[in-house]
Structure formats: C-alpha cells, structure tokens
Chains A and B, each alone.
Chain A
Amino acid sequence: MTAVLTVQGLSAGYGRTIVLRDVSFEVGEGEVACIMGRNGAGKTTLLRSLMGVLPKTGTVRILDADVSHWPGHRINAAGMVWVTQEDSVFPGLTVREHLYIALGGEGVDEGIEAAASLFPVLGERLGQEAQTLSGGERKMLGLAQALIVKPRVVLMDEPTEGVAPVLVEGLIPAIAAVARKAAVVLVEQNIDTALALGSKAHVLERGAIVESGNVQELHDRGVLEQRLAL
C-alpha cells in the first residue's frame, strides 16, 4: 500500500525541551494509525508538529510532497486536516462561518449540506455562534470541518474524549467513514475506541515510539494495557 503520510526521524519540542525523539511511521489510505501513550508522552506534540504549528527536525511527506517546513495553511492545502482535542472554535463566528473557512470558500453549499447530513444538529444551528454549542456539538463541528473537505490525511486528537456515550455512538461511524478514504492519525487513550477504529498502533513513551503493530495483536498480548498502565 502506498503511504499517504510518511514521517521519518521526527523530533520536536518547546524551546530547549525536546518532547519528540526520532519518531518514524507511515500511514496509507484507508488506514487508521493509533498513537497511544500516557499523559505527557508527546502525542499531541506529535500532531502539532505534523500540522506545522511547532518547529521540528526530520521529514514529513504527504504523498510525494515534502511538507516538513511548510506553514500550517500550506499543509492544510496539501490535504492534511486536524481535529483538535480542545474542541476549539473561533469566538464570535457562527457554525456556518466555521464550515466556510474549512472549505476555503469553495463548494460551500454542498459542504454545508454534507455537514448537516453527517450531524443534523449542526444543520439546525448554522446561524448560531459556535462558542455557544455544547462540548459534544463542538466536537461534531470539528469533525464536520475535517470530513467535508475530503482530506488526504486526518489528524485526530482524542475525538471522543469528554463526549457523552450516546454521542460517541454517532461519532465512531463518522470517523470510520472518513478513514476509508484518507490516512488517519488518531491520538487515543481509550483502548475500545482504538480497537473499533484502528488498524495499527504506535505506543509513545517519553517522546519515542516503543511499540508498533496491529492494534488487536497488541491488545491480545496485553501490551497496550501494560504500556498505558491500565
């Protein structure tokens, strides 16, 4: 399988503090690579560096394009989108305006229709300021922004974290649907979610990958439980 996302020798950190050390992995189309690890292992830092928010060393490629030193907006234009953990929104901007920005102003009507069919509650609140949505609805908005642009690579940071179980049941199929057409890097601490969505897992400890393999196999061997100290 051709790798859509290739990460080689990636190191990154904050100031003089190195958080990620020599991280390498590949993700192909239709694959979900779960990045697992305890708090502080460097999972979110990995996504930030992939998205161009943090300076880094090493190589990041999307198909044939070396995006290692590209700014975030160019990486986004190359097909990489990020669903953040913090369900971040722009204060003062409506749901419709968020979707407009995600779509880059192109195919807006179709995109908004697609978002509304994925998450009907968003369709009912297009004119509402996004900061007034509930936490779960913001997660849906974040996912909708990522899904409607037909991305090549999707970075997801614990998309079901803090979401009511009844809503998680709706989110998992939506994530699985996008994963069929894109390469997904899923930061996840919940083993059940990783098992439901993931194909491969990479376990991070102190910024380095210490275990890689099929999610189910790692689970069967008890590696995930041991490494995550569950």
Chain B
Amino acid sequence: MILAAGFLPVDSFNVLVLAAVFILVAVGLHFTFGMLNVVNLVHGELILIGAYTAFQIQQETGNVLLGMALAPLVAGMVGGAMERGVLRFLYDRPLDSLLATFGLSVIIRQVVQLIFSPNPRTLRDPIGGSFVVSGFNIPWWRLVIVIATVVVVVGVSLLLSRTSFGLHARATVVNPGLAETMGVNTGLVRAGLFAIGSAIAGLAGAMLAPISTLNPQFGLLFLVNSFLVVILGGKGSLRGLILAGVVLGGSLAVLQFVISTVLAQIIVLAIAIVGVRVRPLLGQARQERKGRRPRPLSL
C-alpha cells in the first residue's frame, strides 16, 4: 500500500532519521532509568540543557560546533550533581525519586524560561547544505544525526562491554551490595552512570535543536518517546532499545506518510502500549515474563 502510494527513497531516509532520533534521545535514559532504575522525569530537561548550552555558546562565540561539543559536558555535570546531591539518597525509594526528578524538571524548565524567555530560539545548522534524494533536498545535518546515533550506540556498547567501568556498572546494577563488598565503589559507579546518561541526553538536545524549534518545552517533546523506547525495548537492554527505536520511529515515519501526524502519533503510542503489555522486546522485563530472571539476591 505504501509503495503504491508512492513511497520514495527520500521517505526511507526519513524513516532512518526518525528511528535515529528515537534512539538518540533514549540512550541517555538507558543509563538513568534502564540501568539505575530511576524514573527519571528530568531526562527531558537534560536534553533541554544541552540544547540551550549549544544555543548560548552559539550566541557568545558564533561557533555552533563548539556549543555542541560543550553541551554534553554541561548536561553531564548537572546530571552528576543531581545524582550526588539528591538522587543517591533515593535509590531504594522509587516514589520519592520520581517526585524528586519531577521537581527538578520543573525547576530547570522555569530557570531556563527565566534566563532565555519563553520565546522560540533557533540553533543554526552547523554544517548547512543539502544533498538530493529522489528530487528532494535533504540537509546534510540529518545524515550527521544518523551517523552520530550509530557512533553513540557503538560507543556505549563498547563502554559497557569492554571496559572496567562497564563491568563494574553491570555488577552494580544487578547486585550493588555484592559489588560493594567485592571492592566496587558503587556510589561512584552510579554517579558516573547518571552523568554519562545526562551527557548523552545533552548531546541529543544539542544535535536535535537545529531540526526543531528551541523553547523551554523542547525537552518535553522527547520525554515520553524516550520512556516508550526504553520500556518497549526491555529495561536494561541496549539491543532492545535500538530495536524499539527502529520500530517506533520507523512506524511514526511511515504512518505520517499515509495519515495525519497526530493520528500517527496516537497509533505509535498504541503500538508501544500493546507491545509493552504483550511482549517487551528484550531485557529484564522479557526475562521476568519467561521466568528466566534469577532469584532475588539478598545482599
């Protein structure tokens, strides 16, 4: 039906871009929610911080790329400070951590509004220019977003599977008590995970701002989708997250082609809800459903 309706290579590229966007905004949440189990409602504001950091540096120096390089640093430091200052006391109190992240998200949004006003801002496309696919001009920046998403996912995968920090992180996530008594500084590992997740959120915000309109509500655009991707993928599974990003982002792009954007978003939301209810793609939730989850550990 789609082909019959004239689905062109350019539309295939849009599927790729939207899937990349879904994945990029969710990778940070993989650390803070998927691994640390914090229902991190401030994730959208970490995306916002990244975007406004890039914007401010663009205004000060005229160099957007410098802003994009510094955005993850700023968001990572803010996230690390939130973890050390507030969230580390709340790991065993999920409701309190949810309220705390909600409160922090409101505070950050209001502060951004006070500093930058509610007026929409524009972050310049750092490289400009476009290439032509089936007669349509496609900005090079969209291709950069796809490539950056691949680089981030590969980097995160290597970090978690091939480094000492990654090993300590995986141990801390599944059994913090045992990890601590085996010499792992679990407090530091958790702070590191939260800071890295926040930094990736900041990077996502900075990279996506040029293809969107920047205002204090900018982060909220991505919050729900990020949670949907992580939950549908199966909490704690990076492979599941990628698969869910492709399913949800791809579905949205295809549906937007054949029906209205609003209806497409409703259908994608329904796909996610049904998917989560029936079959998380990978990760902890799926293991629990299959009865594979090992018995709770008592440490």
* Chain A interface residues toward B at CB < 8 A: 51-53, 71-73, 75-77, 81-82, 84, 86, 88, 90-93, 97, 100-102, 104-105, 131, 145
Contact = CB atoms under 8 A, between A and B. Distances in A.
Contacts of A77: 183
Contact of B179 (A51, A86, A90, A104): A90
Contacts of A101: 167-168, 171, 179, 182-184
Interface stretch (B140-148, B200-208, B291-299): B291-299
B168 A76 contact: no
A75 B181 CA distance: 8
Nearest to B167: A97
Given A51-B181, A71-B180, A93 B187 contact: no
Contact of A53 (B177, B185, B293): B177
B294 A91 contact: yes
Contacts of B185: 71, 73
A90 B175 CA distance: 6
Contacts of A53: 177, 180-181, 299
Contacts of B187: 71
Contacts of B164: 100, 105
Contact of A52 (B170, B181, B294): B181
B180 A88 contact: no
Contacts of A88: 175, 178, 297-299
B174 interface: yes
Contacts of A75: 181
Interface residues on B, range: 20 to 34
Contacts of B293: 91
A168 to B, nearest CB: 23
A84 B178 contact: yes
Interface string B234-276: 0000000000000000000000000000000000000000000
Contacts of A51: 181
B171 A76 contact: no
Interface of B: 164, 167-168, 170-171, 174-175, 177-187, 293-294, 297-299
Contacts of B180: 52-53, 71-73, 76
29 contacts: A52-B180, A53-B177, A71-B185, A72-B177, A72-B180, A73-B180, A73-B183, A73-B184, A73-B185, A75-B181, A76-B182, A81-B181, A81-B182, A82-B181, A84-B299, A86-B298, A88-B298, A90-B179, A91-B293, A91-B294, A93-B167, A93-B174, A97-B167, A101-B167, A101-B168, A102-B182, A102-B183, A104-B183, A131-B294
Given A72-B181, A97-B167, A101-B168, 19 more contacts: A52-B180, A53-B180, A71-B180, A71-B185, A72-B180, A73-B180, A73-B181, A73-B184, A75-B181, A84-B299, A88-B297, A90-B170, A90-B175, A91-B175, A92-B170, A93-B167, A93-B171, A93-B174, A102-B183
A82 B185 CA distance: 16
8 tightest A-B contacts by CB?
Answer: A72-B180, A76-B183, A72-B181, A73-B185, A91-B294, A90-B171, A51-B181, A88-B178
B187 to A, nearest CB: 7
Contacts of B171: 90, 93, 97, 101
